[in-house]
Amino acid sequence: MAMIFCNTLFSSSPSLSPLTSTRTTPSRFSKRLRVRAQSQSMEDHDDLLRRKFMEFPYVSATRRQLMVDLMSTVEDRLHSKLLPCSLPPDVRNFKNPNGSAEASLHIRSGEKSSPIDFVIGSWIHCKIPSGVSLNITSISAFLNSSTKAPNFVVELIQSSPTSLVLILDLPHRKDLVLNPDYLKEYYQDTALDSHRQSLLKLPEITPYVSPSLFVRSAFSPTASMLKIDVEEEEKLEEILRDHVSPAAKEVLGIWLEHCVREEEQEGKRVMGEEEKLELERRDKSFRKKSIEEDLDSQFPRMFGEEVSSRVVHAIKEAFGVL
């Protein structure tokens, strides 16, 4: 657009015609045009990749709308605290060699002055040899060591049209036994457990127990780790729309108000260097173990060694665990 506007300007104004200007002016002007055009091209490409991520193409309309609403809320509310996504294009969207698996990744780091470390969203689609498809959609937000507040995570895992696993939580970053005030502040006073209890009242929803001891230890006592089993796809859509979606949005709202916003207010508790170092060690250990448990073991099988190596390296770099 800048190029069209400037070409029109040259042709319609004699005073700006390159025939009557000095020899140096067009050169400087052309250079500025090239820089602006390149910048615009990069912005357009970034927008295209973001829209590709926000499509969530392999899931139902209800689930897609939920993920779009959650990611949009995170980015809108944290807009001034987030840097643009800097992942290379072949990491933001990638497939395996035979096209049976595809994924999209969106990571935005936080500004240095903000409590946000980074926000990561993703979707993964994989055709399993048994004939079914695995579809995972997730959004996580991680805080840095300027605050002790919990992180946020929502993940939906589906390998059947009538069955889905939900993980919704504010994972704790302090030992809850040694820090009872932490338990009270972020979990009891916010009534966070009410969302899990409400969902469990539905006959189609039962507790989900992860086979991973690490996963079970990483989530809070109020985590909604649930399995939804229905007889008809329409019922699953109804539960997602009328129950899961409101719960996920309310939990995200609690995180934004009580874990992000409160940390910015005057009078917040100042953390000592030792406590910050302890948080940094715990966060780094959690992230490294998460990658080992999940990506290092599963990605090579889904996407092949070459693609997996490239993507996991970029994730480790964003996580600060290289």
For 141-194, the pLDDT digits (tens) are: 999 999 999 999 999 999 999 999 999 999 999 999 999 999 999 999 999 999
Query: What residues does 40 pair with on adjacent strands?
Result: none
**Across all residues in the chain, what is the average pLDDT?**
86
Angstrom distance (rounded) from CA 136 to CA 140: 13
Q: Distance between terminal CA atoms of the chain? A: 41
Question: Long-range contacts made by residues 174-183, C-beta under 8 angstroms, separation at least 24?
Answer: 174/148, 176/220, 176/221, 182/148
Angstrom distance (rounded) from CA 155 to CA 140: 8
User: Residue with structure tokens 């991680």?
Assistant: 142
Question: Comparing 12-16, 76-80, 300-304, which segment has the lowest mean pLDDT?
Answer: 12-16
Angstrom distance (rounded) from CA 81 to CA 96: 34
Query: What residues does 116 pair with on adjacent strands?
Result: 143
- Domain 47-274 falls under CATH 3.10.20.90: no
Question: Comparing 129-133, 146-150, 217-221, which segment has the lowest mean pLDDT?
Answer: 129-133
Higher pLDDT, 78 or 12: 78
For 69-118, the pLDDT digits (tens) are: 999 999 999 999 999 999 999 999 999 999 999 999 999 999 998 999 99
The whole-number pLDDT of residue 35 equals 47
Angstrom distance (rounded) from CA 7 to CA 98: 45
| pLDDT value at 2 more than 80 | no
For 258-300, the pLDDT digits (tens) are: 999 755 554 456 788 999 999 999 999 999 999 988 888 889 9
- State how beta strands 93-95 and 101-109 pair: antiparallel
